[in-house]
Structure 1
Amino acid sequence: MSLYVACTQCPGCHRSRTRKLNGQRVICKTCSKSKECVFQFCYVCQREWPRDAVSTDSCVLPNCALRAALLSAKQIDNPQSSVRGCPYFRACPGCKALLTHDSDGCPNIVCSNCNKEFCFRCMEPECYDDEYDDSDCEDNDPGMKPCVIKNNSEILRQLGL
């Protein structure tokens, strides 16, 4: 049995030839060689393993589970949904709570944690979507930004996660 995990891509070199250690730790042989030190990362949140946490098998980085959910490839695939093609999970732009859309009605949602309203597609507080028309949504102002689905990697950068 091989110790190399073909499906785990290194966040440093973006190659798939990595070796899983105990727990969530993974080592990248390519990055270790180029950096001239052992390069380890968390396969869950895809960030470099903290050097002072080498003895633990669980990731100690903040928001590890939140990042893992946001990095998930799962998308909403309901063909009748106004949020079809969006990532299944989103982080509230207000409080970073993990949210999903129920796939019914308007793409706008309100965070149950902080009451911030935003569009689940583009993550903006107000947008314009000419493809979606629902009597439950307020009239669109032509001066608003067009609604384009943002991917979660962009959201992670914006939220500092």
Structure 2
Amino acid sequence: MRALFPGSFDPVTQGHQDVLRRAALLFDEVVVCVMSNPNKSGRFPVAERLELLRAAATDLSNVTVDSHTGGLLVDYCRDRGIDVVIRGVRGGADLDYELPMARMNHELAGVETFFIAADPSLAHISSTLVTTMNQQGRVPER
């Protein structure tokens, strides 16, 4: 079964890498995709995020890296024969945010969402936190 792990990955964190590695053990193929909105500017260029994801997946033979600009996530899945979307959740707030989207993806295109709970040792990490720490000259991880 093919699965999609979408996100902005702005920047890629150890939490993202953990979810990706665990998803790669569960699915035949995982496409990790930098989703970008042309109306928003990211902190890191898409090309750099793709490079970081490729580096994170070098030892995962069933993982491919891609990017997508604009359009619906379910259209990306439908065009590529992907039936499952992977989402990492750190806690209740993430689940509250993700659950309505999961329901809509299922309603629109029959795409299921597979939630992977964050490793407790990484649950406090977010792309925003990593960027803030980098700006302050403290690099917790990347």
- TM (norm. structure 1) is 0.21
Which protein has greater RCO, CA pairs closer than 8 Å, 6+ apart?
2
Structure with the larger helix share: 2
Larger radius of gyration: 1
Name the TM-score, length of structure 2 as normaliser: 0.23
Higher strand fraction (1 or 2) = 2
